[in-house]
Amino acid sequence: MDLAKGNMGAANVLTQLCGENAFTSLDSLRKYNITGSLIWCLYKDVCKQNLQKMINVLENCENGNITPAILTHAITNYGDGLDISRY
């Protein structure tokens, strides 16, 4: 719940992630300081409410295929600069 920062949308996404057994994704969120409303924006605006896409995007960030700067820009700009169809 610390990651959600009181944001119910983020809490919902985090609950779904735990159901998917995607603890690596939770670690990535912590590592890149994606908390609260930023989690919701990543899920809703960047990944178009597709949990698997969100997991894939975070994995690609971990693998170096997406830079943290590109990910942050996409989150704060409604998905701009990140073509999620590749993931």
Place of tokens 């995007």: 57
pTM assigned to the model:
0.92
Chain centroid to CA 23:
12
Give pLDDT, residue 55.
Answer: 94
Give pLDDT, residue 21.
Answer: 60
Q: Which residues of the chain fall short of a pLDDT of 70?
A: 20-22
Give pLDDT, residue 1.
Answer: 73
Q: Dihedral of the CA atoms 4, 20, 33, 27 (nearest 10)?
A: 130
Give pLDDT, residue 22.
Answer: 67
Give pLDDT, residue 80.
Answer: 97
